[in-house]
Amino acid sequence: MQTLYDSDTYTVTHMLANAEADGGVATDSLKTERFPDGVPLMARHGFEIVDKRAGKEVYLDGSWAELFQRHIMAWQVNTPSQEEVEDTLEQFAELAQNPVLVH
């Protein structure tokens, strides 16, 4: 898990679903141990976007995560303003249905 963005309005976290408990990513030798029959380990990375104002979060995986990843790669090439980042996050945050709960 890695926080990519944190402002007064939004937090974006990159979730590494296949990461090991110690924070590392599964290696080929570890995959062979877990899946001796050659069953591949699917990468299920995703992004959690928390809208702090609305108190809701959305988890993007699959094609939504791929689309969001394209935005991140574009931001690395052309550094956006905070307003541009927040506008993009607002579009994705509209998908948020889950309330953020703190235990």
- The DSSP result for 46-79, as a single string, is EEEEEETTTTEEEEE-HHHHHHHHHHHHHHHHSP
The parent domain of residue 45 ranges over: 2-99
pTM for the predicted model, two decimal places? 0.72
pLDDT at 43 (0 to 100): 63
Q: How far apart (Å, rounded) are the C-alpha atoms in residues 92 and 98?
A: 13
51 sits in the region (left: phi over 0; alpha: psi -120 to 50; else beta) called beta
Question: What tens digit of pLDDT does each residue of 56-81 get?
Answer: 999 998 899 999 999 999 999 999 99
Q: What is the pLDDT of residues 36-61, one digit of tens each?
A: 556 555 667 899 999 999 999 999 98
- Mapped onto helix, strand or coil, the DSSP state of residue 85 is helix
Radius of gyration of the chain (CA): 16
Q: Provide the number of structural domains found in the chain.
A: 1
